């Protein structure tokens, strides 16, 4: 029985023929080719994915750069319109830094008692009893808020160039009849070619508080007539020289040495500064005048605001 079964098993486990082995090898080769194709396809998919991701990130980066440039331009225009400078924000370290501790204070913030504290307190009380009552000060006369508070002068642009950190701003050095030239930043790049700025005579407002414009301190303001579509520089009359004052008939007051921003003098006077039908710069209809020389005008803008 055992011999018979062994013979039967041997019939089923014959060695494969050469043809069968050839078929197996062909199938194995085909499978290997398919695996190679799949590996190549996977590599292409990965490469395409990385390339498309890079393009998407690059497009988003360009959009962000455009938004930053737009916001920067709006900031420059707002600074120029309001005549305000940049506000320097504190760093993170400065915000979270602990304030210096006073050696005369305890850990809970209370002051350390000093040996002579009681004596000093008694001495102060004695002085307060003997002190004479203070005289009440009489209130000072209020100075009227009008154009006479503003220091307008004839001036001449000596040098002009583009602001290094702002495409829409000029950086100028201006002669006002003083010993030193004044540095002035103006937002006139889009309105007046640089060739028309050089050596030009202008009207300068000289007693505004200096303010930083994109990192550079501006010490005055060039007066212009403006409308939404156009801006024109106000020209002094022929023969006027740097340093001559602009006067207004009926307003004989003296200009402030420097305007106090809290008093809002400029903000109250500016709405009444306009050109008239003859393009003459005026305050409430009274012309900007250089004594003995004439009035100040713009080229074409009529009935427009001045600032």
SS3 87: coil
**Domain count along the chain:** 1
* Predicted TM-score (pTM) of this structure: 0.56
CA angle 70, 75, 222 (to 5 degrees): 125
CA distances from 226 to 61, 126, 207 (A): 36, 66, 21
- Residue 275: CB atoms within 10 Å: 26
Q: 171: buried, middle or exposed (CB in 10 Å: 19+, 13-18, 0-12)?
A: buried
For residue 271, which of 258, 282, 279, 259 has the smallest C-alpha distance? 282
Residue 295 forms part of a structural domain: yes
Contacts with 176 (C-beta within 8 Å, 6 or more apart), sequence order: 153, 155, 182, 204, 206, 220, 242, 243
Q: Which domain holds residue 200?
A: 147-306
Residue 72 forms part of a structural domain: no
Residue 238 forms part of a structural domain: yes
Joined together, the tokens standing for residue 195 give: 């060739």
197 neighbors 157 (Cβ within 8 angstroms): yes
Joined together, the tokens standing for residue 161 give: 């160039």
Tell me which long-range contacts 101-104 makes (C-beta under 8 A, separation of at least 24): none
CA angle 113, 117, 120 (to 5 degrees): 165
Give pLDDT, residue 71: 85
Residue 208 forms part of a structural domain: yes
For residue 85, which of 265, 223, 221 has the smallest C-alpha distance? 221
Residue 171 forms part of a structural domain: yes
What residues does 282 pair with on adjacent strands?
Answer: 274, 287
**What CATH number should be reported for the domain holding residue 225?**
2.40.50.140
Q: Which residues of the chain have pLDDT under 50?
A: 11, 92
Residue 193 forms part of a structural domain: yes
Residue 290 forms part of a structural domain: yes
Give pLDDT, residue 218: 95
Give pLDDT, residue 25: 83
Give pLDDT, residue 106: 57
Residue 131 forms part of a structural domain: no
Give pLDDT, residue 50: 78
Tens digit of pLDDT for each residue in 49-74? 878 888 888 888 888 888 888 888 88
Kind plus residue range of the DSSP H or E element containing 283: strand 281-283
Give pLDDT, residue 99: 59
């Amino acid at each position: 029985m055992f011999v018979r079964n062994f013979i039967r098993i041997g019939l089923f486990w014959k060695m494969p023929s050469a043809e069968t082995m050839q078929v197996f090898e062909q199938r194995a080769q085909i499978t290997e080719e398919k695996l190679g194709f799949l590996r190549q396809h996977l590599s292409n998919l990965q490469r395409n994915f990385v390339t498309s991701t890079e393009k998407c990130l690059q497009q988003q980066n360009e959009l962000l750069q455009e938004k930053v440039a737009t916001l920067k331009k709006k900031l420059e225009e707002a600074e120029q319109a309001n005549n305000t400078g940049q506000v320097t924000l504190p760093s993170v370290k400065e915000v979270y830094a602990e304030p210096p501790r006073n050696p005369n204070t305890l850990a809970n913030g209370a002051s350390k008692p000093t040996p002579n504290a009681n004596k000093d307190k008694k001495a102060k009380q004695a002085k307060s009893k003997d002190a004479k009552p203070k005289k009440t000060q009489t209130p000072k006369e209020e100075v009227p808020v009008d154009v006479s508070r503003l220091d307008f002068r004839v001036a001449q642009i000596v040098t002009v160039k583009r602001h290094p950190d702002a495409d829409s701003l000029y950086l100028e050095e201006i002669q006002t009849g003083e010993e030193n030239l004044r540095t002035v930043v103006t937002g006139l790049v889009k309105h007046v070619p640089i060739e028309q700025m050089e050596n030009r005579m202008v009207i300068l407002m000289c007693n505004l508080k200096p303010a930083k414009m994109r990192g550079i301190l501006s010490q005055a303001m060039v007066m212009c007539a403006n409308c939404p579509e156009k801006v024109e520089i106000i020209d002094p009359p022929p023969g006027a020289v740097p340093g001559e004052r602009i006067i207004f008939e009926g307003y004989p007051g003296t200009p402030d040495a420097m305007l106090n921003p809290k008093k809002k003098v400029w903000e109250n006077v500016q709405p009444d500064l306009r050109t008239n039908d003859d393009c003459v710069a005026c305050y409430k209809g009274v012309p900007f005048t250089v004594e003995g020389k004439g009035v100040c005008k713009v080229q074409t803008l009529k009935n427009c605001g001045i600032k």
